[in-house]
Amino acid sequence: MRLRYTDEKEEVRSLQLSEEEVILGRSEGAQVFINDPRVSRNHAAIRYWGGDYVLKDLHSNNGTLVNGRTVNVTALSPADRIVIGGTELIVEDENQPQKGTGTVMAEVGSEFDRGKGYSTIMRQFVDEASQEQKERRRQTNPPGEANEEDDNTET
């Protein structure tokens, strides 16, 4: 897996994750340097552990978000979005090609050609994204921990 983010010079950066620990923060020694006063010197770390890449907040002052949720420790999955200060880092699977805008537009055009309407296509996108989010939650929540969707289930 790798991290993709935009640095303070507005340049897109990519960092291949390995078994070496990666420090994210404002320290000049951090592998992912984030020049933002809201970011601690050693804000968070990513380490390969037990077959997963695990992100750990290093007792930062302003916290670390993964997919919009504040985390202390969590396993990372492709498409996860890490937010530290004002910087968003995206976890990517280098073995899975990312769809570009042209590819997505071609897929939408193909759906239109098959007679589907805009609302139907958008509903499919939303449904697919929801399913992916639920699957990521299942993978990152320990057994027995309540999921958000568990709270809304009628019995």
* Cβ atoms < 10 Å from Cβ of 54: 15
The whole-number pLDDT of residue 31 equals 95
Q: 7 with 52: CB under 8 angstroms?
A: no
SS3 (DSSP) at 123: helix
pTM over 0.75: no
Chunked mean pLDDT (size 10), the chain, 155 residues: 87 90 95 95 94 95 95 94 94 67 67 77 73 66 52 45
The whole-number pLDDT of residue 36 equals 94
* Cβ atoms < 10 Å from Cβ of 107: 13
Q: Give the integer Cα–Cα distance in Å for 89 and 82.
A: 5
Distances (CA, A) of 72 to 56, 59, 110: 6, 8, 43
Q: What is the pairing mode between strands 32-33 and 22-25?
A: parallel
* Cβ atoms < 10 Å from Cβ of 34: 22
SS3 (DSSP) at 64: strand
The whole-number pLDDT of residue 40 equals 97
What number of CA atoms fall less than 13 Å from residue 82's CA on the CB side?
A: 34
| DSSP category for residue 131 | H
